[in-house]
């Protein structure tokens, strides 16, 4: 049976529609428009959300866990708990993100996560994994963050192949430091396989950064964090990220990783079309303060900060909160903040025709918001979470 959703507004997010109607059938969007102009089917089930806002389901490109669990636990129950937690906060699709770990553990995790992406079961209560994000082990020792130095690896096509095979080719994102030995060859090969290569955890200078872009990189990971600070004579990777219009970039807007004024600077520099919101959330998200795990690393959570050995170690941010923070910090509209967490990340992955947008033929992944950006309902594949 077709379902007709009614709401005060609909954000596509490239456009906005007043007094909106959206028709769903068989997990797909049939049509959208103003209810005054649409021919409403007589036999459809009608759900009226009143003064609410219909928007695409949120997409998180960088998330390690939540609800007390980590994506590298390799447990169906753990992954289900994480996915249900995300769905409650409006996320319908995500990239489970690894952290640098012993190679055998990484390969075991990739095998589990690759199967999860392939199976992609949906009962309407769980966010769906799109593809794996490999954060590590090809990172800078200088800007490794909490990634264990002894477990970092040189850029290796052989190791990339092993990881690719373990994940059954379900790798969508790869974060790498372009200055490490062998990085340019690895970037070129990963790009050839259709992976979005993202520059991050890097102490690269500007020339090394541009070499990475020329090799095929086209995104940047948690901008400002784990990067050489911007210098007016040697701008480094940040100089490339903030000035290259061919590059998309993501940012953690929790008010801890990046100051509000710098979030404003980031949005001004990258523009509404190239800015992406992520959470970098860990297992502690949605949980009380205490000690939690990030891929086997011990992380202490206190006052909203996640720290391991005095270093920031992910966040307890949710993507709906990131949207509201971006509105406050950068002065953007709800529509534009939603774009940064829907259409823009979908475009990073090359799936913007079916995800991150409310248009005919797209997947019926929908988040229903209040006008202030609070989640009312999450609909995944046409099924209400």
- Out of 203, 280, 320, 363, the active site residue is 280
Structure tokens belonging to residue 251 = 């940012």
CA–CA gap between residue 29 and residue 353 (Å, rounded): 12
- What single DSSP character describes residue 256? S
Active site residue 328: no
Structure tokens belonging to residue 269 = 């520099």
- What single DSSP character describes residue 246? T
Instruction: Tell whether omega for the bond before 137 is within 30 degrees of 0, i.e. cis.
Output: yes
CA–CA gap between residue 185 and residue 319 (Å, rounded): 34
CA–CA gap between residue 288 and residue 302 (Å, rounded): 9
CA–CA gap between residue 16 and residue 24 (Å, rounded): 18
CA–CA gap between residue 248 and residue 103 (Å, rounded): 29
Asked if residues 304 and 236 have their Cβ atoms less than 8 Å apart, the reply is no
CA–CA gap between residue 143 and residue 160 (Å, rounded): 21
Question: What's the angle, vertex CA 115, arms to CA 114 and CA 117, rounded to 5?
Answer: 65
Cα dihedral 53→54→60→65 (10° resolution): 80
Q: What 3-state class would DSSP assign to 346? A: helix
Query: What distances in angstroms separate CA 148 from CA 27, 139, 297, 358, one per listed residue?
Result: 42, 10, 9, 41
Q: What is the gyration radius of the CA atoms in the chain, in angstroms?
A: 20
**Catalytic residue IDs:** 280
């Amino acid at each position: 049976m077709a379902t007709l959703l009614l709401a005060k507004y609909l954000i596509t997010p490239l456009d906005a529609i007043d007094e909106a109607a959206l028709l769903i059938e068989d997990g797909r969007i049939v049509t959208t428009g103003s209810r005054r102009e649409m021919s409403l089917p007589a036999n459809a089930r009608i759900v009226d959300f009143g003064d609410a806002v219909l928007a695409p389901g949120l997409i998180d490109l960088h998330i390690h866990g939540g609800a007390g669990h980590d994506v590298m636990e390799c447990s169906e129950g753990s992954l289900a708990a994480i996915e249900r937690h995300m769905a409650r906060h409006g996320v319908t699709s995500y990239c489970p993100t690894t952290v640098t770990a012993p190679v055998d553990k990484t390969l075991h995790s990739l095998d589990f996560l690759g199967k999860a992406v392939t199976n992609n079961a949906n009962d309407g209560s769980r966010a769906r994994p799109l593809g794996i994000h490999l954060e590590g082990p090809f990172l800078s020792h200088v800007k490794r963050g909490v990634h264990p130095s002894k477990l970092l690896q040189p850029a290796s096509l052989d190791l990339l192949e092993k990881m690719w095979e373990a994940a059954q080719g379900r790798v969508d994102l790869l974060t790498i430091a372009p200055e490490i030995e062998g990085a340019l060859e690895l970037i070129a090969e990963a790009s050839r396989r259709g992976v979005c290569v993202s520059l991050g955890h890097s102490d690269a200078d500007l020339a090394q950064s541009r070499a990475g872009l020329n090799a095929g990189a086209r995104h940047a990971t948690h901008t400002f964090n784990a990067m050489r600070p911007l210098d007016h004579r040697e701008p480094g990777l940040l100089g490339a990220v903030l000035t290259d219009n061919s590059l998309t970039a993501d940012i953690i807007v929790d008010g801890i990783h990046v100051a509000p004024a710098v979030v404003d600077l980031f949005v001004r520099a990258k523009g509404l079309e190239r800015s992406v919101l992520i959470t970098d959330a860990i297992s502690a998200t949605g949980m009380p303060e205490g000690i939690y795990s990030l891929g086997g690393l011990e992380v202490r959570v206190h006052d909203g900060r996640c720290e391991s050995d005095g270093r920031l170690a992910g966040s307890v941010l949710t993507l709906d909160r990131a949207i509201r923070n971006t509105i406050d910090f950068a002065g953007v509209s709800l529509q534009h903040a939603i774009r940064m967490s829907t259409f823009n990340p979908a475009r990073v992955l090359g799936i913007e025709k079916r995800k991150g947008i409310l248009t005919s033929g797209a997947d019926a992944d929908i988040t229903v918001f209040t006008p202030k950006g609070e989640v009312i309902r999450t609909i995944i594949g046409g099924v209400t979470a």
